[in-house]
Amino acid sequence: MKGTAKGIKAAASVPGVKKISAANFGGTLGPVQIKLKDAVALI
């Protein structure tokens, strides 16, 4: 999850980025779920 947190931090520093959001695809992308709030808490 630390990698996700670093990616969010890097994306947030890009000029023009207005929003970072999360989506739920009902588990169709695989068994691993990373909650956006949990990742942001690591920043």
pLDDT tens per residue across span 14-32: 999 999 888 878 878 888 8
> What was the pLDDT predicted at 10?
94
Q: pLDDT digit string (tens) for 33-42?
A: 888 888 888 8
Own/partner long-range contacts of 1-10 (Cβ < 8 Å, ≥24 apart) = 1/34, 1/38, 1/39, 1/42, 2/42, 4/34, 4/39, 5/39, 5/40, 5/42, 5/43, 8/36, 8/39, 8/40, 8/43, 9/43
If pLDDT is split at 50, 70 and 90, which confidence band does 13 have?
very high
> What was the pLDDT predicted at 37?
87
Question: For the whole model, what pTM was predicted?
Answer: 0.66
